[in-house]
Structure 1
């Protein structure tokens, strides 16, 4: 579905932004020039060359962290273990960013026009697009998907917020089978971002809902379904699924893309994802030749660079990760009380601790970014201070100076200033009511990089008298805590990054369903959130670039001053690919790695 920010589980470090981007010509994406690699043995990707003409045949095996998808339904999928499949393998969007330039390019829509008042986007669909069952893909599929599925409050989707402009949902109208119109009540910089949407097959879903009601859609294409029957609009169809083990794909026989010589894509005849419990296991699978692509961690570099000639693979420097990696603090109150079922939220005294600005500032002073980079990323990383990637035109250059830096002495002084002191000499601080300050810090299990970060952070906290218990948990359970039960204290997590942060419509405004500290607010509870909501309008309900940059600067300032999250570091993304693979041109953006180029990869 719409490629909005979603929780990220990146193989190299971390909860993988599934989604990406901006409207109009708001940004001028730059093609990367050939440069010298940061370390010997790495190849810098030259994206100037464009796609090579490949050849048919061959297979590819990819590793995916975790136990596999939570859903095969593209509207309901929320985490990358699912969206890697639903958004990239078996779905295609109306428009998408070009893999090489990152500029908007046609996909299922062959062209588009924006009205003079900049409120209406009219798209013309290709005349050669079909679902994998042979039925045509039409503008009515998109109109029905948005209006009858995503906009229905009975559907359990996290994407609805990303279709909102000026407080109102955008209007989708199929003018005929090939012409689709998207209208907004205000000028919006992200109309093309909204059009970065896929559809469900109306010819299958509409009869189901008419007979059984909308609730039937919430049960459609779950992991207990036969996924080989799911129609695809993307390059692949699911050919086999074995729970907790693997999922395989074969080419969609009706896929529309061809290469420069007219050969239908994909080139490969099969792709398989192996579900892998942790990155160490995945590394061993790659070295054994069981998987063909590996997202290289800093600690792996010295091992892999020594083996690349012997084992026949190439190592690529992809670029600084655009994803975020941060600690967030739960401030969602349990208004029903802990004795009631349903949404839990946070009870006292933890709610008071985590809602205290000085306490969060103290925690920010305990994030030792440079040590994480040196010891966990093995030097392959960069300090991170904002959710906006540094290469984005919307990055606030003042973020580096404004962010609180590692300073345990300052952390201790802040804790003293709010009377969080060790009252009984046991080494743990208590609040003024005598409650020992003890919190859990969760992250997704099996991701050793994240597990190392929460362990290091817990030690820093212990040094100043705060008891933090590291809690690795299953990724899907972590997502459930964030979007459903709200039953957590602190979480180390991440979101996929994008060229334009407008893709975070469900994250940064207070009403967003991934506004993690307290999602889905009817009105902003905190003054700074009200200011962010206003700045969101300033940044995005316009196409004026100066205004957009001003709005995004305000949002980044508020984030750094009020600390709903504290950022850690961006890893340098490195990838190892079987040397037999061609068309290896990944980008450091989720969806633009191996799965984003899967239809172009070929065996030499």
Structure 2
């Protein structure tokens, strides 16, 4: 039975809806369990930090895919959501949905209470404008241009609150819902062009005009005060936010403000946290969890620790090898690098065995979309040397690094974005020498590192990407993106065979066939050794001052973060207890102690 059939059906006469087919069957779902707490208190300011100021406040165009877009777009309301535990579809911007008979069309009834953060009502025409916006060349974003021109046929506003969405190809109902639910509108009233020579509804100077001009949002928070290079404050709409008309949003997003300070060094950020200048801190790093949490604020019970397991999808990532760079176009060189990277040793020696090795560079945890037969190449210096010799690197220089007849050194720069990664790469660098491979470390600050990779300047980029339950491959491996900048083909790798598979994957009707094609795409990418899988953690670890509160059952399967720590990737179920905060601050001044607290939530721990 499809998940969509679990929803509640409502038959309405066609006369109630202009342009709809007769006896359309509206579906909704208000029966899933709630996961926020009715004990939550509204108010207060959460203080958190990011390592670099965003390159832009745009979410389309050059640099629009940076980390801060999570705040601006990715975690904003969309047409439908998936419940974080049951994974069934639930209402969001749309309260109801219905399917057309052509396997291409879906109808959506919008919540009439929905408003943009500037007070303007959400209209069905904002979705048709979204399509117009993403197809415009003025946004200078080839990925959006291609996707919205090829995957969606049209979007029509049947009235102010009814959307007709028609895809370019037939799909089963599961696929229709999946590709519909994540769509987010654009505020037509805000993006209205000053100059529009193309007559496409988008400003001719969109990229420059909106570079640091945040758009209104539909979420509980919008961009408030900006201190360029120093901090950003996200301001709550207020307790009358339209989202609270939706039962699934009640008792969520409880703090009045989120003040995001730019602190470029993680160790300095931790010191701010210990002093109480930050309310929360990510404690995924073993040295933070095991060592630095032995300080007085923890022992005195002012700061608590939380470790909770989840079942998140893990996206593509690890070490991305840019095949457009010299030597990396050779399969033997790439396989040699894969064997020369001692990732398992890194987990054991540096991460204290808390992480696990990703076996698939294109991600794991995606159910039948994941090829479970694949395994990461193990650390094996002998196997690496054989591959390097087959690539012509048969000579060894005085410092132990291999060279070929052209006197090229087997040396590559690894680009990364945070100082805390340096010890990890230092370990891998020493291990790789056993195979005659030299790794040099190229630390590029924060968001600039991602820009560096988008512009394909890297040789090897050490980073990971997020993912959706259904992976996307066109952006990563289709030839349309190889050799071009500002897209996610970080490896510059493509083949005619992959192109054909990717296009079949995009156009197939059956979800089962889509799953099979996904596994085959992953197999071919794995054999090309263009991504060396890194490590992953099936859990979250956080530190928080004792005034931070959360529900009695804090973890859902898809809980990515318990608190807003640098990224807005949580469900907003936490709150600040102002009385406890006052009492704690008073206790700190007087030197009074509380019992130290470590919370372990193992509900979703792998068996």
Q: Name the SS for the 1:414 alignment partner.
A: helix
Residue 103 to residue 602, structure 1, CA distance change in 2 (3 Å): same
Equivalent in 457, 469, 473 of residue 440 of structure 2? 469
What is the aligned partner in structure 1 of residue 320 from structure 2?
A: 328
Q: Which runs of 5+ in 1 are unaligned?
A: 1-23, 29-46, 333-345, 519-524
Between 1:413-422 and 1:95-104, the stretch displaced more is 95-104
Alignment of 1:32-431 (within 5 A): 50-53=35-38, 54-64=40-50, 66-76=51-61, 78-87=64-73, 91-147=76-132, 149-157=133-141, 159-160=143-144, 163-164=147-148, 167-188=150-171, 189=175, 192-210=178-196, 214-223=203-212, 225=213, 227=214, 230-253=215-238, 255-258=241-244, 266-296=253-283, 297-303=285-291, 306=294, 307=298, 310-319=301-310, 322-332=314-324, 346=325, 350=326, 353-386=327-360, 387-390=362-365, 392-400=367-375, 403-422=376-395, 425-431=398-404
Question: In the comparison of the two structures, how many residue pairs are matched?
Answer: 523
What is the aligned partner in structure 2 of residue 32 from structure 1?
A: none
- The offset of 1:136, in angstroms, is 1.0
Q: Which runs of 5+ in 2 are unaligned?
A: 7-31, 482-486, 578-607
Distance 1:216 1:152 in 2: 12
Q: Name the SS for the 1:175 alignment partner.
A: strand
Distance 2:249 2:151 in 1: 43
Larger Rg: 2
Q: Name the SS for the 1:204 alignment partner.
A: helix
Q: Name the SS for the 1:399 alignment partner.
A: coil
Residue 575 to residue 499, structure 1, CA distance change in 2 (3 Å): farther
Q: Name the SS for the 1:163 alignment partner.
A: helix
What is the aligned partner in structure 1 of residue 416 from structure 2?
A: 443
Q: TM-score, normalised by structure 2?
A: 0.78
Distance 1:586 1:208 in 2: 45
Distance 1:416 1:464 in 2: 10
- The offset of 1:302, in angstroms, is 1.8
Between 1:308-317 and 1:134-143, the stretch displaced more is 308-317
Q: Name the SS for the 2:267 alignment partner.
A: helix
Deviations 1:372-393 (A, max 9, x none): 2122322211110222323633
Comparing both chains, which one has the higher relative contact order based on Cα–Cα distances under 8 Å and sequence gaps of 6 or more?
Answer: 1
Q: Name the SS for the 1:112 alignment partner.
A: strand
Alignment of 1:5-20 (within 5 A): none
Between 1:363-372 and 1:97-106, the stretch displaced more is 97-106
| Superposition CA RMSD, Å | 3.2
- The offset of 1:159, in angstroms, is 4.9
Distance 1:25 1:263 in 2: 24
Distance 1:299 1:315 in 2: 15
Equivalent in 426, 431, 451 of residue 460 of structure 1? 431
Deviations 1:83-126 (A, max 9, x none): 1321257x422223323334332211112223233212222111
Q: Is the 8 A contact 2:151 2:169 kept in 1?
A: no
Q: TM-score, normalised by structure 1?
A: 0.78
What is the aligned partner in structure 2 of residue 38 from structure 1?
A: none
What is the aligned partner in structure 2 of residue 555 from structure 1?
A: 521
- The offset of 1:481, in angstroms, is 2.5
- The offset of 1:558, in angstroms, is 0.8
Residue 475 to residue 79, structure 1, CA distance change in 2 (3 Å): farther
